[in-house]
A and B are shown apart, each in its own frame.
Chain A
Amino acid sequence: MSSAGRLLMLIVTGVTILSGCKAPEEKKLYPHAILTPEPPRSIPDAKLVFGDGTPVSGDWLVGHWTWLYFGFANCPDVCPMALEFAAREYGRIRRKDQVQVVFVSVDPDRDRSPKLKSFVTFYHPDFLGVTGTRKDIDTLAQAVGASYVIDKPAVAGGAYNVSHSNMVFILNPQGQLSAVYAPGIPEGQMAEDFDHLLGKEKV
């Protein structure tokens, strides 16, 4: 609640990640990613919940690849485009069992509700929607380099806008940030990377 109206900036943007990157030459695992932190970056614990308040289990990032997107359910343009993008790429990959797509709402005041699930599954039934306390969201967002700003509503209690990173953050099965993709890259490239990756991985 206290968040609305406050400028909440997590100034750990892609630029910071970039500084920790080097261009892998031979063994390029994510040829179509825009960022590949090297080595993969560990993510601290963040206790998140599903929209209905059910806690997400502590090891939710472990044992599979995670595609993380930060947004909010009242988002009519950017998030739907990104989720459609993720749904198309996810739809293409062969090893769907190895990938979990997770939409993290940075707007718990409005999205800690069952509607988060219906929003996310509208784009693909396998997608998960999670949110949490401001602190836990910030922990996760900061760790991967996502940022967001929650605007002050024009009138008290009125609608407000949320700005947010428009990136898909990739965590490896150890739960470490290992790549970042930009939605809107040519169709099929991200799926191609993952088909290649999962074909080689012995999970």
Chain B
Amino acid sequence: MKRVLLMAVSCAILSAGPAGAFVVCDKPKPASAPMAPAVSVEAAWVREAPPQAEAMAGYMTLRNGGKEALKLLSAQSPQFKTVELHEVVTIDGMARMQEVKELLLPAGGTLVFEPGSTHIMLIGPKKSMAAGDKVSLTLRFSNGREIKSTLPVKARQASSHDHHEHHDHHHHDDGHHEN
């Protein structure tokens, strides 16, 4: 924890996009020419969960613009007690969620976190989160680099893959007002 905070001091905000601002943190280095960020975060979001939820799932696409393959080793958020990297495997129709210790982000490639597949498991929210809230996440890579990202919590209809013309959304207005 302390180490993360220390490293955060050396962070610089590099970009702000629709997915939220992200920050690339490097270990303190001798002054040198600024480098393009090797890793960028796209389409980051957290699935809104019921108010009492003890776990939430976050999704994003990581893009490695560098020439070096990286491994994502861990993630942390000050808003959650624990953050784990999870994947879902389906065997005989049974979905099994399991923690993974590292995930490969190939040079020039992407690492995709998406519903029903690899996701960031956010466990034990320190306070209940709803759509519109933002989750701060720090990702730590094998080369010691850390990336900070802000993931907006999105309502469930936003996560729908529903492209049909007229489906009713009326029921989506329910259930938000509990607690």
Contacts and interface: CB of A to CB of B under 8 A. Distances in A.
Given A122-B50, A163-B96, A77 B115 contact: yes
Nearest to B58: A76
A188 interface: yes
A187 B163 contact: yes
Contacts of B88: 77-78
Given A118-B178, A149-B96, A167-B93, A74 B53 contact: yes
B32 interface: no
A100 interface: no
Contact of A164 (B52, B82, B94): B94
Contacts of B47: 76-77, 80
Contact of B175 (A13, A123, A184, A187): A123
B125 to A, nearest CB: 11
A62 interface: no
Contact of A119 (B50, B115, B162): B50
Interface string B87-106: 01010111111100000000
Interface string A184-203: 10011000000000000000
A149 B161 CA distance: 29
Interface string A125-158: 1000000000000000000000111000000000
Interface in B126-149: none
Given A15-B92, A91-B171, A123-B175, A77 B53 contact: no
Q: How large is the interface on B (under 10, 10 to 19, 20 to 34, 35 or more residues)?
A: 35 or more
A115 to B, nearest CB: 5
Interface stretch (B12-20, B36-44, B116-124): B116-124
A47 interface: no
A91 B174 CA distance: 13
Contacts of A15: 92
7 nearest A-B pairs in the assembled complex, by CB-CB distance: A163-B96, A122-B50, A76-B57, A166-B95, A76-B55, A77-B57, A13-B92
25 contacts: A74-B54, A75-B55, A75-B97, A77-B121, A80-B47, A80-B156, A81-B115, A84-B160, A88-B162, A88-B167, A92-B167, A118-B50, A118-B178, A118-B179, A119-B53, A122-B178, A124-B171, A125-B171, A161-B98, A165-B93, A166-B95, A184-B116, A187-B163, A187-B164, A187-B167
Interface of A: 13-15, 73-78, 80-81, 84, 87-88, 91-92, 115, 118-119, 121-125, 147-149, 159, 161, 163-167, 182, 184, 187-188
